[in-house]
Structure 1
Amino acid sequence: METFGYFTSENSHHASEYVPSFWASPASSPAHLPRRWDYLRTTQALAGQEENLTREAGSRLCTQLEPSGEFGMPIIAAHIGGPPAEIYVNVRNDGSIGNLRPEACVEVPARVERSGVHPEKMGRLPGVCAGLNLTGIALQKAVVDAVM
């Protein structure tokens, strides 16, 4: 944010997706991210507890059923004829962000209704933000091309 004048990610755990130098060395990451989310160690710590965790989650759902805050259910409900939903979605760009490749995946606001998902046109990103995204998009395209 200090460098570009824009916050380039929704949170610090995703910052390295846009600025790979964020993880330049093992010593540099704690300076930017004092508490690390270690998904592998978390998963390993829970290994063998799946049955109990599933049973506990099922019990909680029977007594405390409430929306999770995720967008899955509003998307499904809107698509089958419920009230339209205004949400953020990951979609093929196709012009939603004018200065990114059409085939790139972008996260943009959208209206979901029975007729489908309708992403908003966002215009162009500021140059430095587009540059950060274009770097990642170029790498992703190279990987897809290599696999194909």
Structure 2
Amino acid sequence: MGKKSTASVPKSSSSGAFTVGRLAEAAGVGVETIRYYQSRGLLRVPGTRGTYRVYPHSAVQRIAFIKRAQTLGFNLDEVGTLLDLEDGRNRRAVQAVTVARLRQLESKLADLGRMQEALSELLELCRQAGSAQSCPIIESLTGVSVPT
């Protein structure tokens, strides 16, 4: 979903409403992203004015909230929960979502560390192996036991 520059944010109409194209431009996302957020229940489908759906200015802010939350690693289900808690009154619930995401990130970092260590060891074995020997990296990937 293509991200567009928000350097020159278009002005909404005098009523403060945006068409889907103008909303996409103002929020720096593609129209497809807006439709996807609507299908996920993250963004309300607006009413129409004539033949066009019109979005309030608050939709730009809501999309910015979603994008910032994603930048912090929240998935869209978690973003939906955070949007439901957006008024900030239930801090314990917000903290619970954040703690759960933080634990998942810590687990992922530990997994990445193990992967890095395993790959580093295989690379070192490959560098030490003579050219006549089979490659320890390939042997490991094919399930052949690699001597350590």
Indicate the TM-score class for this superposition, using the shorter chain for normalisation. Answer: under 0.3
**Larger Rg: 1 or 2?**
2
Calculate the TM-score normalised by the size of structure 1: 0.22
Kindly indicate which of the two structures has a greater share of residues assigned to strand. 1
Normalization by structure 2: what TM-score? 0.22
